[in-house]
Structure formats: structure tokens, C-alpha cells
């Protein structure tokens, strides 16, 4: 039976059977938002790597190198995971190698899934349209913060559950909790997130503009999908609804 589940952190991923599922990676502040924005702006591909060292190995080639740790750009890298680094001007036609504190780790741990795609408020409707057409089970994987639960990823997971609710009745407890919380917060996401510990940490980094940017809905129309080790713009979906 088709189901939708929410995994609150990658640390819990081993408990889920995802071999036949679509895994949606969610790291709202800021990796998944920036990936969606960059792919929408014409980046040819974004290669996610787990460590800063792996990222460095691509140096000297034809790649933009992006590395974020603890919310900051790692010294010596082109940029980190601020969405403002992923404008068309900067990324169009480019290949990017990216490592982030949480998002790329989540991705690497999902490799046994049938498909891995990237979700954020920025591409919410495009994402839900795709999930609707695929008719597969869905696991919404919140990247969290160093293995811990965080509020903004849960809220977006709740938004997706809410949008798919009519067609997928089988929702797990974390999906139910996420949806309820999203419905509570949706009219003022930024205000709701001010309560969160992660938000306080991010405020210290002086990225209020980034946060507001990442909470915009549907400014992107593409859905990044992992193919042969790189995230790319998804190809046209056929009328049968399959890739």
C-alpha cells in the first residue's frame, strides 16, 4: 500500500525500508533550498559529497566548489550554501561540487532508495506534482542539524504531507505531527520559526535574508534528482507518469 512517511533525522533512516520509495531530501536552511534554486537557475549539475576533503579533490578543474560547515563557508572555497550564491549569473551552465553539514550527509545515506529528489518551499508545487504522478511511496527525509530534529524541516515535510493527503491515506505518526504543525504555522512561517533553537543559531550568523528567501513558496519549477552521482534538473515526465 502506497504510504508517506517522515523521517525526522538521517540517524533514523536505517529503520525505514526505502528500496521502492522516492526519498525527498529536506534541508530548508539552507542546502535543499539552494540546490533547488541553483538547478532552477541552470546549473548543469550539483555533485554532493560527504566531506570537505572530497570537495577539495575537485579543485583545479571546471567546477565551482561549495563547502559549508557550522553555517559558514569553509575557508578557501568559492561559496557555501547561501541561496544568493546560486543565482543564474553565478551558476548557469556550471558544475558545482557541494558539501554541507547536514544536507549532503542525508543524501549519501539515502542511496538505497529507488529515487532521490530534493525538496524545499521554493519548489513545493513542482515537487508535489511529481510525487503525485509517480504513484510510489514517499519518504520525506529531514536533514535536521547534526542528527537532531529541527523545526523548519518538519514544517516543510508537513506541507508536503498536507498537499498529498487526499491521495495517500497511509501516513505515519511523524507525518501526522508534521502536518498538524504546518497547518498551525503556515500563515506565518517566519514568526513560528523564531521560536526555534536552530533559528537563534542562524540569527547569530546574520543570515536573516537567507531565511526569508528560503521560506518563499514556488519560485522554482524544477525538481532536482540524483542521477549518476549528480543532482540535475529532472527530465520531462512522460504522460504515463513515469520517468
Footprint on this chain of a second copy (rule: CB under 8 A)? 8-9, 11-12, 15, 146-151, 154, 171-174, 176-177, 180-181, 184, 195-198
Least distance CB 16 / a second copy (angstroms) = 9
Least distance CB 142 / a second copy (angstroms) = 11
Nearer to a second copy, 87 or 197 (CB): 197
64 grid coordinates: 565551482
Nearer to a second copy, 123 or 199 (CB): 199
The dihedrals phi and psi of 47, each to the nearest 5 degrees, come to -95, 110
Nearer to a second copy, 125 or 170 (CB): 170
**Helix crossing, 124-134 with 151-164: angle to 10°?**
50
Nearer to a second copy, 110 or 150 (CB): 150
DSSP helix/strand/coil, 59: coil
Residues 6+ apart with CB under 8 A from 126: 218, 220, 221, 222, 223
Least distance CB 173 / a second copy (angstroms) = 4
Least distance CB 164 / a second copy (angstroms) = 16
Least distance CB 41 / a second copy (angstroms) = 30
The dihedrals phi and psi of 63, each to the nearest 5 degrees, come to -115, 150
Q: Cite the beta strand spans of the chain per DSSP E.
A: 3-7, 22-26, 45-48, 63-69, 72-73, 95-99, 115-119, 138-142, 170-171, 224-227, 230-233
Asked if 225 and 234 count as a contact pair (C-beta separation under 8 A), the reply is: yes
Question: Whose CA is closest to 146, among 117, 202, 106, 108?
Answer: 106
Question: Whose CA is closest to 130, among 107, 160, 86, 158?
Answer: 160
Least distance CB 214 / a second copy (angstroms) = 16
Nearer to a second copy, 39 or 154 (CB): 154
Nearer to a second copy, 164 or 223 (CB): 164
Amino acid at each position: 500500500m502506497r504510504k508517506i512517511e517522515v523521517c525526522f533525522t538521517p540517524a533514523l533512516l536505517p529503520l525505514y525500508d526505502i528500496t521502492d520509495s522516492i526519498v525527498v531530501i529536506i534541508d530548508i536552511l539552507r542546502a535543499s533550498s539552494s540546490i533547488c534554486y541553483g538547478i532552477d537557475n541552470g546549473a548543469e549539475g550539483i555533485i554532493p559529497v560527504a566531506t570537505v576533503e572530497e570537495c577539495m579533490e575537485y579543485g583545479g578543474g571546471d567546477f565551482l566548489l561549495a563547502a559549508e560547515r557550522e553555517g559558514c563557508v569553509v575557508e578557501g572555497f568559492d561559496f557555501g550554501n547561501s541561496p544568493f550564491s546560486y543565482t543564474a549569473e553565478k551558476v548557469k551552465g556550471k558544475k558545482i561540487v557541494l558539501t554541507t553539514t547536514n544536507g549532503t550527509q542525508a543524501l549519501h545515506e539515502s542511496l538505497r532508495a529507488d529515487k532521490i529528489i530534493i525538496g524545499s518551499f521554493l519548489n513545493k508545487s513542482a515537487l508535489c506534482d511529481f510525487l503525485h504522478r509517480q504513484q510510489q511511496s514517499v519518504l520525506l527525509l529531514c536533514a535536521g542539524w547534526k542528527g537532531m530534529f529541527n523545526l523548519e524541516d518538519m514544517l516543510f515535510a508537513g506541507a508536503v504531507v498536507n498537499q498529498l493527503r487526499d491521495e495517500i491515506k497511509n501516513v505515519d505518526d511523524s507525518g501526522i505531527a508534521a502536518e498538524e504543525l504546518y497547518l498551525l504555522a503556515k500563515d506565518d512561517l517566519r514568526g513560528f520559526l523564531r521560536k526555534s533553537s536552530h533559528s537563534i543559531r542562524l540569527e547569530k550568523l546574520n543570515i536573516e535574508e537567507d531565511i526569508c528567501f528560503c521560506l518563499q513558496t514556488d519560485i522554482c519549477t524544477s525538481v532536482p534528482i540524483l542521477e549518476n552521482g549528480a543532482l540535475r534538473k529532472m527530465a520531462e515526465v512522460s504522460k504515463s507518469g513515469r520517468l
